[in-house]
Structure 1
Amino acid sequence: MKLYDVVVVGAGPAGSSAALKASELGLKTLLVDKKREVGVPVQCGEYMPHEDEVKRMFPNSKHTSRFIELTKACRRNECDVVRFVSPSGKMYDVKYRAYVIDREKFDKALVDEAKNNGCEVLLKTLASNVYINDNKLALIRNGRCEVVSFKVLIAADGFNSGVANSLGLKTTSWEDKATTIQRVMGNVSVERNVCEMYWDKDCSPGGYAWIIPKGESVANVGLGIRKKFSKGSLTNFLNHFISRHPVASKRLKDGTVSSTVGGVVPVGGPIPKTFHKNIIVVGDAAGQVAAHVGGGVPSSVICGEIAGETAYRHLKEGASIGEYEETWRKELGGILDRALKLRRIGDLFINNNRLIDLILGVLGERGLSKLIRCEMLNELEILLNSVSLRKKGSFEG
């Protein structure tokens, strides 16, 4: 039986970042993932904040450099405007710098760098059972079961984490998830520097639709919905958006589809506890996602770095595993909590197109600039009070 200092389950941005950091620090590390290939399929809009925005979003974080450097290396396009499109078709342009990256390249780069630092990687490998009292993990690979031992286990196995659930840790509820669908489309009419976000309950109930330019005449086109607001078909909603939306259809009607993929995003905020004994939970498994827009790659990479560092400090310096939670909440907790509150406020009007139009109109470009950066709560609550929407207790964290 092999003994590892650290075993990481899940080779997405969170798990790969954790494995890379642990390996860099000299820990014997194993990274496992059930997929056949890292980064495939791409379940992501590939839209990432620019370095300036990252530093503004996470002013307390000391762990942003990896994300910043890698997004630059994997960029395919650069944007400087987010365009909010209301149900009535009115547009609000907000200055916001971002990269559109090659997400497959991004994920593979993290894993390759971990390998270069000595990390062992096993794909097509399912983590089936955790034996916490024995510090053992059962793996299913090539139809056979093998057991490995760990000193620290890092669960980065995504939404509804099997590892976290097996430990009895509370995970994101099914009500607090968004389901997404996205197509890569060619021959579309896009402005290369503009990311478009469409808010319309008829296209994306409980969420929003997007057109993200990957390059000249190529875009990621998708949407996210929440079952709380609709039980309709994702495919039907996306078809409606592409062919019938009064603004988007003009850009997309002649488009060709090269791929379609779906996904699940936790939008219920961080889970209450992200560690147990010598086990750490990170990324989507921990709900470390900006709930108001569903973005989780920056926070996953940052928290993965913190997880790898904590494993090292625990094993080599005697630090508590709980240091992981203290650190990530200090660095990211504020913005993730604000994002969740914004999502909950949005729930009060997101399924009413007249109110969406009203709110976007009153906020205007200045207010939306603050909203996308999670910098406004009081203003939105006051606005909702003014239209008599606020319900007692609705905004409690």
Structure 2
Amino acid sequence: MTSDRWDVIVVGGGPAGGMAAWTAARVGLRTVLLEEHGEIGLPAHCSGKLSVHAFREFALPTSLARTSLRAATLYAPDGSAATVRRREIDSHVVDRDVFDRWLAEQAQAAGAELILGARARRGTRENGLIAVEADRRGQTLTVRAAVVIDAEGARTLLPETLGLPQRRVLIQGLQYEMDGLRLDAADTPELYFGREWAPGFFAWIMPLGPDSGRVGLCVDPRVTHRPPVYFLERLIAEHPVTSRRVRGARIVRKLVGRIPILGRRPSSYAPGLLVAGDAAGHVKATSGGGIYFSLVAGRLAAEAAGAILGGDAAALPRYEQAWRRRFGRELVFTTALRRTLNALPDPDLSRLIRSLAQNPPLRRTIEEHGDTQYQSRMLRPLLGQALHSWREIALAPPVLRAFVRGLFGIDQEPLPPGLEAEPRTIEVRAETSTHQS
């Protein structure tokens, strides 16, 4: 029978929560993992791209990977394209339901208890503990612990009730998992840029195999009132490349979700509370990716919880210091880059991608130094290479203008005419499945 008193309560069964529960249970902490849905990993709302860094650092079994990625093709708003290919594998693509369930199973095997269908709605402090109230099967479930690790995801409830306000921008995403795609290469995701296709972000095809993949996009609701489904259906029907890729393909399922990017990043801790993963904004603003950072933060949060329970109150601020040392620079860098991209007019973005396609030395620099997980590492060699080319120097003024616009919060160019009309009322619900991203 479920106890109401624990050492650690972990809220949320995604990558951050699963890793936190596993780490805490492994060192003997009495740990309970609350998951709001009836099954771990569902509904899924992620492309599933996970850096090789994660597989190496956490000794993840490669059987979790559906396919491996070495390259990427970028399609500019004007149709220009540039492909960057690395010698080694950069990332794997996982099914998030399988991946999240695997983490939860490791946590349970280590001694954690999993409670499904428990949606946390409030936290209160009482006698040195935090009481978490959750709705479960029409009743209120209350569990108590000295430490709570909040890993609820993009839409958090607990931090606000425990005095830790959250302010960030949530972009809205939608993707169709499809069979029968006409892909050029199974190891090469395709990224599509342009305000008429995916305002405030980009669209993609993420391969899952030779003829299957996830076709999706995100849009920034600050830019457009139209729902993601409007832009995705338009991309599939009208984009000169995507429309060819999907011709004759079949939609297997539809995946929806939100990703926290930009905005002021709040503190990730309060007395007795540690926040990790999407709930803390541990997401790269350029790509929306955050699985690896969530795993790192989940483990660091659990280690801090153990120290707190051992009487080390300084472990709270040390947790934030630790994750900022590990990947804080990437969050700052990708936020600046996202603001710059959002403020860069489509013609200038097309010039950048054409320049990449036409400059082999620049492309080789990216291929040799690029790392989709640690994107800031590419900045210095990229600038050094760009300074050797008058073409790239000529692009500096518009990029600098975009950077300054983004720096002062003017990070959105207007949409093309017609895309800001009143939207149709369209609703797409996530479909549950045993093969999720």
TM-score normalised by structure 1 residue count? 0.89
Match of 1:308 in 2: 302
Paired residues for 1:114-153 under 5 Å: 114-134=107-127, 135-153=130-148
Match of 2:32 in 1: 30
Distance 1:38 1:270 in 2: 30
Match of 2:422 in 1: none
Secondary structure at the residue paired with 2:60?
helix
Distance 1:388 1:214 in 2: 37
Match of 1:226 in 2: 220
Paired residues for 1:1-397 under 5 Å: 2-51=4-53, 65-66=57-58, 69-70=59-60, 72-96=62-86, 97-134=90-127, 135-173=130-168, 176-190=169-183, 191-268=185-262, 271-316=265-310, 318-320=312-314, 321-349=316-344, 352-364=345-357, 365-366=363-364, 370=370, 372=372, 373-375=375-377, 379=383, 383-386=395-398, 389-390=401-402, 392=404, 394-395=406-407
Distance 2:236 2:174 in 1: 12
Instruction: Pick which of 82-91 and 5-14 moved more.
Output: 82-91
- 1:10-54 per-position Cα deviation (integer Å, ceiling 9, x unaligned): 111011111110000100001001111101122111112223xx6
- 1:189-209 per-position Cα deviation (integer Å, ceiling 9, x unaligned): 112111111112111111111
Distance 1:130 1:17 in 2: 22
Q: Which amino acid aligns with 1:250?
A: R
Match of 2:412 in 1: none
CA spacing shift, 1:44–1:130, aligned 2, 3 Å: same
Q: Which amino acid aligns with 1:41?
A: P
How many pairs were matched up? 381
Give how far 1:157 is off: 0.8
Give how far 1:167 is off: 2.3
Match of 1:59 in 2: none
Distance 1:358 1:235 in 2: 28
Give how far 1:71 is off: 6.2
Distance 1:121 1:105 in 2: 16
Q: Which amino acid aligns with 2:65?
A: R
Give how far 1:367 is off: 7.0
Distance 2:186 2:48 in 1: 14
CA spacing shift, 1:113–1:290, aligned 2, 3 Å: same
Contact 1:180/1:262, CA 8 A, preserved across alignment = yes
Instruction: Pick which of 7-16 and 89-98 moved more.
Output: 89-98
Give how far 1:297 is off: 0.4
Give how far 1:142 is off: 1.6
CA spacing shift, 1:89–1:371, aligned 2, 3 Å: farther
Instruction: Pick which of 97-106 and 359-368 moved more.
Output: 359-368
Q: Which amino acid aligns with 1:272?
A: P
Contact 1:269/1:291, CA 8 A, preserved across alignment = no
Q: Which amino acid aligns with 2:401?
A: L
Give how far 1:386 is off: 4.8
Match of 2:432 in 1: none
Give how far 1:363 is off: 4.5
Contact 1:81/1:194, CA 8 A, preserved across alignment = yes
Distance 1:262 1:392 in 2: 33
Distance 2:400 2:311 in 1: 55
Contact 1:84/1:196, CA 8 A, preserved across alignment = yes
Distance 1:393 1:237 in 2: 25
Instruction: Pick which of 242-251 and 363-372 moved more.
Output: 363-372
Distance 1:290 1:35 in 2: 26
- 1:319-373 per-position Cα deviation (integer Å, ceiling 9, x unaligned): 5222211111111111111111111111211xx3212202222345357654852
Distance 1:371 1:154 in 2: 29
Q: Which amino acid aligns with 1:343?
A: R
Contact 1:151/1:278, CA 8 A, preserved across alignment = yes
Give how far 1:269 is off: 6.4
Q: Which amino acid aligns with 1:91?
A: A
Which structure has the larger Rg? 2
Contact 2:348/2:398, CA 8 A, preserved across alignment = no
Match of 1:60 in 2: none
Secondary structure at the residue paired with 2:310?
helix
**Deviant stretches of 4+, over 6 Å:** none
Instruction: Pick which of 374-383 and 25-34 moved more.
Output: 374-383
Instruction: Pick which of 15-24 and 85-94 moved more.
Output: 85-94
Contact 2:174/2:229, CA 8 A, preserved across alignment = yes
Contact 1:243/1:253, CA 8 A, preserved across alignment = no
Contact 2:82/2:356, CA 8 A, preserved across alignment = no
Distance 2:215 2:64 in 1: 20
Match of 2:434 in 1: none
Secondary structure at the residue paired with 1:4?
strand
Distance 1:115 1:371 in 2: 33
Distance 1:196 1:394 in 2: 25
Secondary structure at the residue paired with 2:407?
coil
Distance 2:61 2:21 in 1: 18
Contact 1:344/1:394, CA 8 A, preserved across alignment = yes
Q: Which amino acid aligns with 2:28?
A: G
